[in-house]
Chains A and B, each alone.
Chain A
């Protein structure tokens, strides 16, 4: 079984994330980046599936030079090879353009049995690239899997929705997005870190994918950020220490704000 896992290199949520003043895009240089935490679950699930049978896990990313770090982490976890789609013209691409690049790269890799993604990136948090990718690859899709089994020609997943817990089946090849409930991602071992250095990483530009520069990047984006503003910090509120009357004071505050 061959699996492609799509991953994203994102600005660290623990640091001060911001935008570029010049073009309103996400600042990916002034802030430390890392493999999106939610993508670690996708990598882990792919590794488990391959370890239980056979095959290879290819990790794929679209992003600037620094995005190679995300691939490196996935290779250290145990992925077999990596593909990095990068090109100056890609800067500012929106979700549809990103999904186009991912789709073209997956076609070039050779459509696998399963494409696995995280549920969303931790920076843009749109959570729509998996659906766009399924649409472009014309694959059935199972979203938000919290449990996954693959048996011959079908994928079965459990999805814990708001009103029901569902079992979903799709024929292979398929695209699956997984939640952070599905597994506990492994930490790279020392052996894994050493082995990753020898694993193949291919770097592809737009020309390798047959994509025209006019189809991607900020200029081709179907949406644009008109303006951004830092939310003013919340005014520090009243903090009391419970001396046996904390609950009463809490109720008084609620009454003063007309909540009761």
Chain B
């Protein structure tokens, strides 16, 4: 190839690609000027971004009476995008904040980046009467910087292999001792009937978060034994949950199960994405996790064998040996919706934005955002949302837009919570959901809440989460036998020595300032 031909070729390639870039790649991209008839938002996304002219977005626009301009951001790196957005002058008017308890959000809010909504909400019928517990949990040092996005408050449960229970003639457990007995039977009495001792009772994965009190099976069991949920009152002051005899008792209990082989041998390393696998394979018989794990397992079992999948039974939180019951609650929300002051400058503009949020928080707003468009993608049947027209490609888009995108804008409603629960086609699934809700309602009465959720002690912020792994690691080391009880206590002391003492003092101080 001669040099000139080569150059022509290169030039050709360049023009071609430039043309491609101009034509195929530069569609869309309208202006971003906004007027009072448009509301801008930044929202996390779990699937593909909805079409701004799509049916779903139009329905929401009709509801709030304004045009929406939504920047959808992939959930995985939502926080990075939040940070560059905060640093730029391109803030939206409504912003979903996922790390509402991170210092970068709270300090930004305190510095005036976001509206303090503490006493701005009473005017709005759907924003004022919100769940008191969740309002408290989502507030920070007494201030409300955003509207919580509600989630069920009580979600912890035990999911058990129903067929194994029936085969061995076991009753559903009520206490932790029953749990132990079932685990023992599942391990030693050959529940799958293959003549081999190749099963175990409880499945525990490697917990992805090294934070203490992050709803791991360990955290749940500790609460059942009576340990505080992260913080709790002992002798008139708040102490961390791990500095109680109940914490040690609970972990001795887990250790005993591990030592006797009642737990999967790879409990320290099992990938949490593969938590279901031993259950589906019929190797392990119990999971302590969120209650939706039950329907998740049913999905898999049904896919494996559509004729024989009714193998799951869910039970709620368990009692301690002495019959006292302590249930493990969640925070009740997932992030908040905050309003930046840079884009919403006056009280009047704030009123406009809050009016939009109020409409979205209404009964019909919650249903629209969580279930979709009634008569299009679902219909109401026995108080549940039954999906319809799912074969129609257009409806499929609506369904996707709801599930993967718009549901993220729900504040006072989520599926089955202020909006309709999903109606399942088969009985085992439907029973599961009914049972789950009944159990959650029952367990909520005995829930042990974390009184320190609304406070952010400065030392805890400064140390980041570098102290938490001391405890969560020590717990697993104790269970695995790498350290003994004295070693576990020494690690707890190390937590105090490395800054825990200050964190405890500050937490007590801040919580007492909050009152109630």
Interaction A to B: no
Residues of A within 8 A of B (CB): none
Residues of B within 8 A of A (CB): none
